[in-house]
Amino acid sequence: MLATSESEIPRGEGWTYEPKWDGFRTIVAVGEDGDVRLVSRDGRPLGRYFPEIVELVAERPPGAFVADGELLVIRETGMEFDQLQLRLHPAESRVRKLSGEIPATLILFDLLREGEEDLSSLPLQTRRDRLAKLATSAGAGVMPDDLNAVPPGPELLVAPWTADVTLAEAWFADAAGVGQDGIVAKREDQAYLSGERGWVKVKHRTTADCVVGGYRLAKDGRGVGSLLLGLYDGDGVLHYVGHTSSFKAAERRELRELLAPLEGGESFGRGRGPGGPSRWSAGRDTEWVDLEPALVCEVSFDRVQYGRFRHAARFERWRSDRDPRSCTFEQLGVEPPSWG
């Protein structure tokens, strides 16, 4: 189940609130035989990257279940998304080393199945009650309302929630300095609607995960001047939505090396493009280089107009956990541009 972005925390009877975690969304599935699987929002296996979490869940057998949650790295300084991304390493020896040095925490916030029983059609309040009982039988802790008291990993915890908007506002303000990303508001009587945006997220800044579909060269021709950003429409067509250029000189050169293997991809060929010639020259500002749409980055922006960012977006971070095809216009709450 997904969330739509809003600028204000919704209020009124029936609304409940949880902190919005800065991690990897994860489905946790435990079989009758005790087999533990961690799967990303886009269906990619995560278990091999977080063996300490797999072992932690496996050694606390509460029976078969499927739960929704988030993988985090929590240090003394708070949540560390950059360190979490380091955990997605292809070498098993490196994975094992990092699992000891920067262990993860798994936070569960919804229960979708217990044994053979599908719980997704039950109200959220009922699913939370069932999750709390399951967690108790598994020896899992409950994350404290004071997020500053969250222990470092490896840990298995249940997310806190509240119907008190005052506490929700304190979480949103990040008074504890843990680094949570805002608030998720959910209706207590709502079923779990897989793939639908039935929750509301209120973030500290307006962000979107965008596909890098191309780049323009820096004026000196030695590095990347700006990344060209795209989102997919409902037909799987990638459309240009804006650019980001907030990089230092050294970062521009590093980006050129990073992007070189992707040059020559289809990019925005079927949808709305940035305009200007679309090949390999470094002359005018309108010229740009096509890329295979394989990388995703998170950017922050001020507003959307005519289906694109009105001003340059600010680069926030890479999102190696996101499938480019999952980056759609739904994030912006606007319709994709008419094309063709």
Question: Residue 289: its pLDDT value, please?
Answer: 92
Q: How far apart are CA 250 and CA 340, in angstroms?
A: 40
Residues 219 and 313 in one domain: yes
Residue 340: inside a domain: no
Q: How many domains does the chain have?
A: 2
Residue 41 main-chain phi, psi, to 5 deg? -55, -30
Q: Which of 83, 81, 30 is nearest to 57 (CA)?
A: 30
Helix (H, G, I), strand (E, B) or coil at 229: strand
| Same domain, residue pair 19 and 155 | yes
73 burial (CB, 10 Å; 0-12 / 13-18 / 19+) is buried
List the chain pLDDT tens, one digit each, 340 residues.
999 888 889 999 999 999 998 899 999 999 998 899 999 988 899 999 999 999 999 988 778 999 999 999 988 777 888 889 899 988 999 999 999 999 999 999 999 999 999 999 999 999 999 999 998 888 888 777 666 677 778 999 999 999 999 999 988 887 666 777 789 999 999 999 998 989 999 987 788 999 999 999 988 888 999 999 999 998 999 999 999 998 888 899 999 999 999 998 888 988 888 864 333 333 445 589 999 999 999 999 877 877 888 788 999 999 988 899 999 998 887 778 775 5
On whether both 173 and 88 belong to a single domain, the answer is yes
Q: Indicate whether 44 belongs to any domain.
A: yes
Residues 23 and 172 in one domain: yes
Burial of 182 (0-12, 13-18, 19+ CB in 10 A): buried
Q: Are residues 102 and 248 in the same domain?
A: no
Residue 25 lies in a domain: yes
Specify the pLDDT at position 312: 86
CATH number at residue 71: 3.30.470.30
Please check whether residue 337 lies inside any domain of the structure: no
Answer yes or no: do 167 and 223 share one domain: no
With respect to residue 218, please indicate whether it lies within any of the assigned structural domains: yes
Confirm if 239 and 310 have CB atoms less than 8 A apart: no
Catalytic residue among 20, 186, 201, 203: 20
Q: Would residue 339 count as lying in a domain?
A: no
Full domain range(s) for residue 172:
2-203
- The per-residue pLDDT for 280 is 31
Q: 249: domain CATH number?
A: 2.40.50.140
Residues 16, 144, single domain; the answer is yes
Closest CA to 266 of 237, 242, 286, 234: 237
Residue 338 lies in a domain: no
Question: Active-site residue 20, yes or no?
Answer: yes
Q: Are residues 136 and 151 in the same domain?
A: yes
Residue 139, CA distances (Å) to 69, 131, 153, 157, 268 in order: 17, 12, 15, 9, 50
Single pTM value for the model: 0.70
